[in-house]
Amino acid sequence: MSKTKGSKTKGKVVKKAPKKTVAKKAAKKSVKRVAAARTLIAAPAPERTPRTKTATIFIFKTDAGVRIRTTPQRLYANPGDHVEFNVVNMVDGSDEAVTIEFAGGGPWGKDPFQVRNWERKPLAPGLEGRFKYTVSAYGFVEDPEVEMPEGN
């Protein structure tokens, strides 16, 4: 034990804390990390839950005429997901149907389909590939794409 200098501790005996070895702490931490890593490796991968991907189709008017834009330009979807199409008509606010057509056939068959305001379509399980489609309304066409990554 030692006496320390200072106004508050003058004349008082101060006990020092016992020294802990750093090596023991490090060894305990590394054992825990190794055990946690082993359980992660041994555990099966969790199944992927299907998600809903959203494609918004905007119809608007410019000086050059009616334009159609989709967001996002490329829609990435995996097998089992749903694709939700939303149509926003800024030309006249009417319930104008847009026609979506896939070149060479797509995830919902070879025939084009129409969407008015909103529609949610499920993708077939195990469906893979890249599908290019065109959106048309008021006689104008825009061509976004939908991509299905392989092996996901």
Query: What pLDDT score was predicted for residue 51?
Result: 78
Query: What pLDDT score was predicted for residue 52?
Result: 83
Query: What pLDDT score was predicted for residue 87?
Result: 92
Query: What pLDDT score was predicted for residue 33?
Result: 72
- What structural domains does the chain harbor? 52-148 (2.60.40.420)
- Which residue from 107, 105, 87 is spatially nearest to 97, judged by alpha carbons? 87
If you compute the radius of gyration of the chain from its CA atoms, what whole number of angstroms results?
A: 31
- Which residue from 75, 88, 152 is spatially nearest to 121, judged by alpha carbons? 75
Beta-carbon contacts of residue 17 (< 8 Å; ≥ 6 apart): none
Q: Per residue of the chain (152 residues), what is the pLDDT tens digit?
A: 555 555 566 677 777 776 666 556 655 666 667 666 666 565 565 676 777 888 888 988 888 888 888 887 777 777 778 889 899 999 888 888 899 888 777 777 788 889 988 888 887 766 666 777 888 988 888 866 666 665 54
Q: Which residues pair with 101 in a beta bridge?
A: 134
Residues 26 and 56: beta-carbon distance below 8 Å = no
Helix (H) or strand (E) holding 32: helix 22-42
Beta-carbon contacts of residue 48 (< 8 Å; ≥ 6 apart): 78, 80, 152
**Sign of CA pseudo-dihedral 123, 129, 130, 133:** negative
Query: What pLDDT score was predicted for residue 41?
Result: 62
Q: What is the pTM of this model?
A: 0.60
Cα–Cα–Cα angle for 48, 52, 122, rounded to 5 degrees: 90
Beta-carbon contacts of residue 122 (< 8 Å; ≥ 6 apart): 80, 81, 82
